[in-house]
Chain A
């Protein structure tokens, strides 16, 4: 397409060889809404003669702007979704592929709208260069700064500052200079390798494909010329060999190979390798590539490695050079970008995915949030959508990684919500935290089995959940009295009491509620380890945290008891006068009134309290425990 008509056979051959050899430049366009990103790409493609005739005809048919009725709206070439055309904005990334005689390009046209920042980040994670647009009339906006910051965070090294709509400020050099000066000073801390500023009008095509006569004072290249010639960082930087195992291949009993894509470095037959998680050593016996066996393979190649020894290797592990190993840890610091409308809550359990590994993970500390306008670190308790924070993260078992700065492939991860399965965040790992390595579990001679045997009981955590005033504490109290008379060893953890001591520092925001439950669950676990029957009475409104408490304990140890009382009945009882205050608007974040309650979906016991005496309900629970104990003795 990029070629003049009628190519000689020789030129054609060359053209196709060229197609395959020239490096691909992956770039994104970003900046604020209405800065003209889609228009710029549309104009670039049209002026460079890279748009098919039927698509151009289509554009002429649907894409006439209001006003003079003559002018084509180039943005419609990219904004392919109906909602985008209706609203005149870009919602999601559009990928376009084009090539000129000098280079191949993949451009991700990414949205400017704040709400869709996650889609901008999607485009940026694989890009080499970012075109950041600024409207000449407006200068730098918050999104200009945010996108520049995100581009830098994701490892983009080269930036084109496209000072657009220069026609609307009379092609003014001082306006251009002022914007460039402001940008250069702003971005000094971002560490870009190069910033190239170009004044342009995407709408009229000035300095897009051809140099504009309207801007005689500008001496640099037009955008396309720059994109065709910009030198990227050399790819052959010598890096340690990393082979994340994607899939174990066992097509027949005689063959066991590990499939994956080499994340960095080289691997050759005979090379020694270490399985990073176990530290076991072997060497490469064969490399099977898509076209057959090879003696070596380099970064990016999808190969299957056969090792000289039978080792235990599975997906999520990494085969590496013994002389240069990645980190293996379950605690690390990372920069986290949050995408979801539900905020990131420290203490909540999420799934963390690296390229090939998947593991439960928790943010143990949100150290600070980064203000993208001032680069100031600000204290924060949670991360809202589109915010960036620096966090300590703990995973349920160790993962293998490098620092993102060292390796974009092995230093990244995404965060997945356990319930919705949505990708809610993405992270770049900074470094492992040492504390995990230095604190080892101390094995003790007297264990839980010994302690429960002495008490002639089975430890349990009876977790009461329900609205305030539903009757949890009353039933819990009756139950403990009943168990005591039966000679059982118990302890009752009550929400209000705990907040007088251990959790005195916590409030009632979502983040604090998560932390409240996390601490209580840890205490309950210690008490269960001591052999006690622990009765916990907490509103515990979120399913996630009850699940977290359940996962801390052994199978069958956590018994969820839903104390189910309708809100109206709770409000009528109002034992502490809280509903009265909440309805009057005097208590913020009150469960059931101004904060949600997520009822259990599948509790072990579901108690409906209306018309029931607490003593009867307590007997019902005691009966449940008795059957459970009999079951244990029968099995023993």
Chain B
């Protein structure tokens, strides 16, 4: 390949996105508002230029996302004039599921995994594009770009299809669906370099600023609204923080940082001694936590 690595990754991703549009009857993009989603959205816009992406964007909302994320989501969709579907698991709301009361495991299972399954079934999507990368986590490193899920949306690592060259098997049998990861071969550094090169807008929470936080064990939690219950010995303080990854605010640890621009973030990543998902509590529940979630249908 004669051209630069980023352009190679961009080319590969566009090819995969187009392949989904060419071979599935009802695809969707899982839009989680994070930096990877922003890159995926940007690539989808490029893939179909001068037209628009021929599929909608789906946000599975747990109602515990950072407020800035929701504002960013609505602004982005409005500006690009894209079709956004927001799905909330109302059964979970009726049960009063909360990350504080029920813990990360139950919350994630009900409000993300179950909600995603509901949404895919409701709209009968046969393929879902998502921004997951193989460098995020060990079981992700094992996943194919076109990842088949059975009728219960479960991933079976032993049933993965051989994936050779750029010749993808996009055929699904009745009831099965496909998850597709165009950013599989990207790293955290690639994502940020691409954001810089293409000047892609991301949620401001990725950039350092003074924000109200609570230290809980080794994790720094940002107090995003009044639903956050404080332990007796806890106090809210203002710290210079930013996020390497964004999820539900009570389950996403911030890092102390002064990186307020993309070049500063790039420097921080190059010098980082800890992995990106270190602050994601849902990965740390137990050994094999991510694999277990994916077997249940987590994306």
- Chain A residues with CB under 8 Å of chain B are 1, 3, 5-7, 12, 15-16, 19-24, 52-55, 62, 77-83, 85, 91-97, 104, 106, 118-119, 121-122, 125-126, 235-236, 246-247, 249-252, 255, 259, 261, 288, 290-291, 298-302, 304, 315, 339, 351, 353-356, 408-409, 412-414, 416, 419-423, 426
A421 touches B171 (CB 8 A): yes
Please state if A301 and B3 are interface contacts (CB–CB under 8 Å): yes
Complex contact A302–B266 (CB within 8 A): no
A419 to B169, CA, bound (A): 14
A20 touches B166 (CB 8 A): no
List chain B residues, Cβ under 8 A from A420: 173
Contact A12 B270 (CB under 8 A): yes
Closest beta carbon of chain B to A242's beta carbon, Å: 13
| 16 pairs, CB–CB < 8 Å, chain A vs chain B | A1-B272, A1-B273, A7-B271, A20-B6, A24-B8, A53-B274, A94-B141, A95-B185, A97-B135, A119-B162, A261-B11, A302-B47, A414-B164, A421-B169, A421-B171, A423-B169
Contact present for B11 and A301 (CB under 8 Å): yes
Query: Would you call A302 and B18 a contact (CB within 8 A)?
Result: yes
- Minimum CB–CB distance from A474 to chain B (whole Å) comes to 37
Q: Which A residues touch B11, using CB under 8 A? A: 261, 290, 300-302
Contacts of A1 in B (CB 8 A): 270, 272-273
| Contact code string B159-196 (vs A, CB < 8 Å = 1, else 0) | 01111111101011100100000001101010001000
From B2, B19, B137, A235 is in contact (CB under 8 Å) with B2
Interface-facing stretch out of B49-57, B114-122, B231-239: B49-57
Give the complex CA separation of A99 and B280 in angstroms. 25
Q: Is the CB of A354 within 8 A of B278?
A: no
Neighbouring B residues of A79 by C-beta, 8 Å? 138
Instruction: Report chain B residues within 8 Å CB of A246.
Output: 15, 18-19, 22
**Does residue B21 face the partner (Cβ distance < 8 Å to A)?**
yes
Query: Is B10 within 8 A of A290, CB to CB?
Result: yes
CA–CA, A412 to B169, complex, Å? 13
Q: Is the CB of B165 within 8 A of A408?
A: yes
Complex CA distance for A91 and B159, rounded to whole angstroms: 11
Given A80-B138, A91-B157, the answer on whether A423 and B162 have CB atoms closer than 8 Å is yes
B87 within 8 A of A: no
B8 CB to nearest chain A CB (Å): 7
Residues of A within 8 A of B161 (CB): 422-423
Docked pose: A261 CA to B171 CA in angstroms: 21
Q: Which of chain B's residues have a CB closer than 8 A to the CB of A21?
A: 4-5
Complex interface bits, B269-299 against A, C-beta within 8 A gives 1, otherwise 0: 0111111001000000001100110000000
Q: Which residue of the partner chain, among A12, A97, A250, A409, contacts B134 with CB atoms under 8 Å?
A: A97
Are the CB atoms of A421 and B2 closer together than 8 Å?
no
Q: Please report the C-alpha to C-alpha distance between residue A315 and residue B170 in the assembled complex, in whole angstroms.
A: 14
Chain A residues, Cβ within 8 Å of B227: none
Q: State whether B189 touches A12 (Cβ < 8 A).
A: no
A310: shortest Cβ distance to chain B, in Å?
18
Name the B residues within 8 Å of A255 (CB-CB): 50-51
- List 3 tightest A-B contacts by C-beta distance, closest first: A80-B138, A251-B51, A125-B164
- Nearest-CB residue, chain A, relative to B184: A95
The CB with the most chain B CB atoms within 10 A, among A85, A119, A412, is that of A119
| C-alpha gap A300/B5 in the complex (Å) | 11
Bound-state CA distance A420–B176 (Å) is: 11
B86 interfacial by beta-carbon distance below 8 Å: no
B101 interface residue, CB < 8 Å from A?
Answer: no
Indicate if the CB atoms of B272 and A81 lie closer than 8 Å. Answer: no
Per-residue contact bits, chain B 91-116, to A (CB 8 Å; 1 contact, 0 not)? 00000000000000000000000000
A55 and B6 alpha carbons, distance in the complex (Å): 26
Q: How far is the CB of A385 from chain B (nearest CB, A)?
A: 12
- The reply to whether B270 and A83 contact each other, CB–CB distance below 8 Å, is no
How far is B21's CA from A315's CA once the two chains are assembled, in angstroms? 12
With CB as the reference atom, state the residue of chain B lying closest to A81. Answer: B157
Min Cβ gap B277→A in Å is: 9
> Would you give the shortest CB distance from B181 to chain A, in whole angstroms?
11
Query: Which residues on B sit within 8 Å (CB–CB) of A412?
Result: 164-165, 167
A72 to B22, CA, bound (A): 47
B191: min CB distance to chain A, Å: 12
Task: Determine if B287 and A62 form an interchain contact, defined as CB atoms under 8 angstroms apart.
Answer: yes
Chain A residues within an 8 Å CB radius of B48: 249, 251
Instruction: Determine the chain A residues whose CB is within 8 A of the CB of B292 once the complex forms.
Output: 82
Q: Are A93 and B135 in contact (CB under 8 A)?
A: no
Residues of A within 8 A of B22 (CB): 246-247, 315, 356
Q: Tell me the smallest distance from the CB of B153 to a CB of chain A, in Å.
A: 16
A85 and B137 alpha carbons, distance in the complex (Å): 15
Contact residues in B for A414 (Cβ distance below 8 Å): 162, 164, 167, 169
Asked if B167 contacts A413 (CB within 8 A), the reply is: yes
- Asked if B46 lies at the interface with its beta carbon under 8 angstroms from chain A, I say yes
Contact residues in A for B291 (Cβ distance below 8 Å): 80-82
Chain B residue at minimum C-beta to C-beta distance from A415: B169
State whether B2 touches A236 (Cβ < 8 A). Answer: yes
Min CB–CB distance A515 → chain B (angstroms):
26
Which residue in A55, A96, A290 is a CB contact (below 8 Å) of B14?
A290
Q: Are A80 and B142 in contact (CB under 8 A)?
A: yes
Whole-angstrom distance between the alpha carbons of A55 and B283 in the complex? 12
CA distance A412 to B49 in the complex (A): 29
B169 touches A416 (CB 8 A): yes
**A contact residues around B167 at 8 Å (CB):** 353-355, 412-414
Q: Which residues 42-98 in B have Cβ within 8 Å of A in the complex?
A: 46-52
Given contacts A12-B266, A81-B139, A355-B166, contact A416 B49 (CB under 8 A): no
Contact B271 A6 (CB under 8 A): yes
A423 to chain B, nearest CB (A): 4
Interface pair A104/B274, CB less than 8 Å apart: no
Q: Is the CB of A122 within 8 A of B18?
A: no
| B215 is an interface residue with CB less than 8 A from chain A | no
- From residue B172, how far is it (CB to closest CB) to chain A in Å? 6
Which residues of chain A are near B4, meaning CB under 8 Å?
Answer: 20-21
Q: Which residues of B contact A416 (CB under 8 A)?
A: 169, 171
Known A20-B4, A80-B141, A353-B169: A54·B158 in contact at CB below 8 Å: no
Chain A residues lying within 8 Å of B187, measured Cβ to Cβ, are 97
Contact present for B50 and A288 (CB under 8 Å): yes
CB-defined contacts of A96 to chain B, threshold 8 Å: 135, 141
CA distance A421 to B169 in the complex (A): 8
* Interface hub of B6, B137, B169 (most chain A Cβ within 10 A): B169
In the complex, A339→B160 CA distance in Å?
Answer: 12
| Cα–Cα, bound, A83→B288 (Å) | 10
- B162→A24 contact, CB < 8 A: no
Chain B residue at minimal CB-CB distance from A291: B46
Chain B residues near A302 (CB-CB < 8 A): 10-11, 14-15, 18, 47
Chain B residue contacts of A126, Cβ below 8 A: 164-165
B158 A24 Cβ-Cβ under 8 A: no
Task: Tell me, rounded to whole Å, the shortest Cβ–Cβ distance linking B160 to chain A.
Answer: 6
- By the criterion CB–CB under 8 Å, are A19 and B189 in contact? yes
Q: Considering the complex, give the chain B residue whose CB is closest to the CB of A339.
A: B162
Q: How far does the alpha carbon of A449 sit from the alpha carbon of B106 in the complex, in Å? A: 67
Interchain CA distance A96-B184 in the complex, whole Å: 11
Contact B169 A290 (CB under 8 A): no
Taking a contact as CB atoms under 8 Å apart, the answer to whether B164 and A121 are in contact is: yes
B169 and A91 form a contact (CB under 8 A) = no
Contacts of B21 in A (CB 8 A): 247
Given contacts A94-B141, A247-B22, A426 and B1 within 8 Å (CB-CB): no
Query: How far, in Å, is A558 (CB) from chain B's closest CB?
Result: 23
Contact (A290, B270) CB under 8 Å given A126-B165, A300-B1: no
Interface centre among A62, A92, A106, A235 (most CB of B within 10 A): A92
Contact among B47, B169, B171, B274 for A52, CB-based, below 8 A = B274
Contacts of A78 in B (CB 8 A): 138, 141
Min distance, Cβ B17 to any Cβ of chain A, angstroms: 9
- Indicate if B267 sits at the interface (CB-CB under 8 A): yes
> Are A24 and B5 in contact, with the CB atoms below 8 A?
yes
Cβ-defined contact, A53 with B273, below 8 A: yes
Least CB separation from B158: chain A residue:
A91
